[in-house]
Amino acid sequence: MCGVMGYIGDENAQDIIIEGLRKLEYRGYDSAGIVMVQDGKLVVHKKKGRLANLEKELEKHPNESHIGIGHTRWATHGAPSDVNAHPHTSMSGDVALIHNGIIENYLEIKEWLQREHGSVFQSETDTEVVAHLISVLYNGDLLDTCFRAVEKMRGAYALGILHENEPDKLIAIRKDSPLVIGLGEGSNYIASDIPALLKHTKDVLLIENNEIVVITKKSVTVYDGQRNVVERAPYHVTWDAATAEKEGYDHFMLKEIHEQPKGIRDTLVSRLDAQGNVKLDGIRLTKEDLERLDRIYIVACGTAYHAGLVGKYAIERLAKIPVEVDVASEFRYRDPFVSDRTLFIAVTQSGETLDTLAALREAKNRGARVLSVVNVVGSSIARESDDVFYTWAGPEIAVASTKAYTTQLMCLYLLAIHMGRTLRTISDEAYALYIKELTAMPDRISGILKQENAIAAIADGLHRKRDIFFIGRGLDSAVAYEGSLKLKEISYINSLAIAAGELKHGTIALIDDDVPVIALANQDALFEKMLSNIQEVKARGARVIGMAKAHNKAIEQAADQTLWIPDCEDIFTPLLSVVPLQILAYYVAKLKGFDIDKPKNLAKSVTVE
C-alpha cells in the first residue's frame, strides 16, 4: 500500500515529511516523492527507488517550506519510475496531489479530459487524471471543486491535495483507502496510517468514507458527503510505533489475513465493467487465441503453486482446456511439451522467484505465450511476460503468504470465466451466477474472520502434536496442500496433505490417536465420500477437525470439532476454505511462541535456485 505524509505548520515541512515516510517504509514501495509550497508555487521532487534517492535529489534544492505532502508509491497502474511516482500535477502545475488506492474509471475521465480540455498526460497512472480533473474544475474554491470532482470518480482513494491559489491549506479526501489526520499545536498532519504521526502527536482524527477535510495550521474541518460539517472527537493513540505498523495486530500475517476481503475486492472490481463483464486489463485472449491452444501450463512455487492447482480445476471445468500444473523447479528440467500453441501462466507474489523466472524463460524460448499473475508491479517476472494480470493484494510483508494466495485465486477464476464465456463453454446464466458469487466473496470472508476466536480455540492442543494430516477431495485437496504448508512453515509441525481417497493406499498406516486430521468436506458433490473418510480415520483413533459449508450440518456428528464456511458454489470454495486454515496455522504457531512473520530458514522472496 502507498504511504502518505503531509504537514502544515511553522516548522520545516521537508524534514517532517521525509521522516514520516520513513516510518511507513515497512508498507513496501517502489518510488517516493514530495510536493511543497515554495514562494507561492508548488514544487515537486520525485524519484524511483528508495527514499534515499529522493533525499539525494532534495539536497540539490534546499528550501524553507512549511506546507507539503509526501508519498511512497506501491505501483498499481504503471511500472515504478520517476514519472509515475507521486505527487502528480495538473498541466499548468496549479494542482499537485498524492493518492493511495485505485480510480476504477480513470480511463473514462482521462478520455473526457483529453477530448474536452485537450489534457496531455505525462504518466501511465490513474492518479495524474485526478490532478488534471481538479485543475479543470477549479472555480476559485478548492473545497467546492473537490466535492464536484469526487462526483465523477469511482474507486478507492485517499487523496492529499494542494492548489497554488490556496497555498495555506491542505485538502484530504477519503473513500475506502486509509487516511488519518494528526492534530498538533499550531500544526496539523495527514497520513495513510498512524506510525508516521506518533513522533509529533498521539491525537488523531480517523476520517470516514466520503469525507473531505480542510486542514490549515490552526484548524481541521471535516465535511461529510453532503457538505455538512462533521464534529468528531480525536482518538488518542495508545499504541507504540511497532504495534501501529501492524495496525494493532500482533503480526503482519494476521493483519494480512484480515486484509483479504479488501484484497480480493480490489482485485475483482476494476476487472468488471459497468455491465458486469470481465475485463482482463487489456490482455487479449480471443476465441481464436484460445482455440489454437493445445495446453495451458500453470507454473509456480509454494503457495502460488497451490493456487495453480485451483486454477487448473477452474480453467478445465469452465473453459474445457487441458491444464498442467507444475512446480517451477521441476518444469524446466523435464523437457516439457511446449510450442507456440502453449499458454504458460506463471503465478507469483514477489515476481522475483528465480525458479519461476527460469521456468518462464524456458517456456518462452520454446515458443509459449507467457501470462503472469503477479503482485509486485514492475517485478522481473512481470517485465518478462507477454501479459501481466496483477493481483491487487498490496504489499505482503509476512513470509507466510495469505492475501496473495486468495487474490491469485481471484485472478485465476476471472481468467477461467473469461475463457469459458469467450469459448461459449459456459452459459450466460452460469456466467452471471459466477460473477455474482465472486462479488459476494469479500463479505463471505469477512464472515469467516468473525469466527477467529472459535478457530483459535481449536488450535489449542494441536500445537503439542508432532504430526497433523490435512485431507480433502477435488478442490479441497488443493486447499489441503495450502493449509498444510501454512502450518508447517510457521509452527514447524510436520504436516501431510493428501487426497482423502489416497489414504487407504498406504498413509493411513500413520494415523493413530496422536495424529489429528483436518478433513475438508466443502464440495457438496463429494461430501458423503468425505464423511466416509472421516469415519476411516476416526476408526484409527484420530481426532478429526472437519470443515464444511454451513448447510452440511451432518459434519458435526462425524467430526470432533467443525470449521464452517458460508454456502457458495463448489468451484469457489477455495476462496473461503483456506481462511480458517490460515487462522488455525497462525494460532498454533502463536501458542508455540515462534516468530510468525519471519519463520526460521525462510525468505519472503526466494531469488536463488
Give the footprint of ligand AGP on this chain (CB under 6 A): 301-304, 348-350, 353, 356, 399-401, 489, 605-606
Question: What's the closest the beta carbon of residue 373 comes to ligand AGP, in angstroms?
Answer: 9
Query: Grid coordinates representing 144?
Result: 467546492
Question: What's the closest the beta carbon of residue 377 comes to ligand AGP, in angstroms?
Answer: 14
Question: What's the closest the beta carbon of residue 353 comes to ligand AGP, in angstroms?
Answer: 3
Which C-beta is closer to ligand AGP: that of 33 or that of 580?
580
Burial class (CB in 10 A: 0-12, 13-18, 19+), 339: exposed
What pairs with residue 181 in β-bridges?
190, 205
Respond yes or no: is residue 2 known to be catalytic: yes
Question: What's the closest the beta carbon of residue 304 comes to ligand AGP, in angstroms?
Answer: 4
Question: What's the closest the beta carbon of residue 463 comes to ligand AGP, in angstroms?
Answer: 19
The Cα 282–Cα 147 span in angstroms is: 31
Is-contact 363 328, C-beta < 8 A?
no
- Closest Cα partner for 398 from 246, 263, 607, 262? 246
Q: What is the DSSP string of 158-180?
A: EEEEEETTSTT-EEEEEEBS--E
Query: Grid coordinates representing 461?
Result: 492442543
Question: What's the closest the beta carbon of residue 379 comes to ligand AGP, in angstroms?
Answer: 9
Question: What's the closest the beta carbon of residue 60 comes to ligand AGP, in angstroms?
Answer: 37
- Closest Cα partner for 483 from 596, 587, 585? 585
* Residue in the structure block whose three cell numbers are 519472503: 604
Q: At 469, which amino acid appears? A: F
SS (H, E, C) 85-132: CCCEECCCCCEEEEEEEEECCHHHHHHHHHHHHCCCCCCCCCHHHHHH
* Residue in the structure block whose three cell numbers are 500453470: 298
Strand locations in 445-493, DSSP E? 467-472
Q: Find the radius of gyration of the CA atoms of the chain.
A: 25
Is-contact 32 51, C-beta < 8 A?
yes
Q: Which residue is catalytic, options 2, 146, 411, 568?
A: 2
The Cα 230–Cα 225 span in angstroms is: 10
What pairs with residue 7 in β-bridges?
68, 189
Question: What's the closest the beta carbon of residue 399 comes to ligand AGP, in angstroms?
Answer: 5
The helix/strand/coil state of 318 is helix
Q: Which residue is catalytic, options 152, 202, 364, 604?
A: 604
Which C-beta is closer to ligand AGP: that of 270 or that of 391?
391
Q: Which DSSP letter does residue 501 get?
A: G
Element (H, E) at 363: helix 354-365
- Closest Cα partner for 162 from 95, 211, 223, 218? 95
- Closest Cα partner for 21 from 50, 41, 45? 50
Question: What's the closest the beta carbon of residue 397 comes to ligand AGP, in angstroms?
Answer: 11
Between helices 475-491 and 573-592, what is the axis angle to 10°? 20
Question: What's the closest the beta carbon of residue 269 comes to ligand AGP, in angstroms?
Answer: 23
Q: Which residue is nearest to ligand AGP (CB)?
A: 302
Which C-beta is closer to ligand AGP: that of 290 or that of 300?
300
Is-contact 181 213, C-beta < 8 A?
yes
Question: Could you tell me if residue 320 is left (phi over 0), alpha (psi between -120 and 50 degrees) or otherwise beta?
Answer: left
Between helices 403-422 and 302-319, what is the axis angle to 10°? 20
Question: What's the closest the beta carbon of residue 401 comes to ligand AGP, in angstroms?
Answer: 4
Which C-beta is closer to ligand AGP: that of 508 or that of 579?
579
The Cα 299–Cα 404 span in angstroms is: 16
The Cα 297–Cα 336 span in angstroms is: 10
Which C-beta is closer to ligand AGP: that of 12 or that of 605?
605
Question: What's the closest the beta carbon of residue 253 comes to ligand AGP, in angstroms?
Answer: 9
SS (H, E, C) 501-536: HHHHHCHHHHCCCCCCEEEECCCHHHHHHHHHHHHH
Which C-beta is closer to ligand AGP: that of 161 or that of 393?
393
Which C-beta is closer to ligand AGP: that of 303 or that of 523?
303
Which C-beta is closer to ligand AGP: that of 32 or that of 596?
596
Which C-beta is closer to ligand AGP: that of 243 or that of 605?
605
- Closest Cα partner for 127 from 110, 115, 141? 110
Is-contact 34 69, C-beta < 8 A?
yes
Q: 537-560: b or e for each residue (b if 16 or more CB lie within 10 Å)? A: bbeeebbbbbbbbeebeebeebbe
Which sequence positions are flagged as catalytic?
2, 604
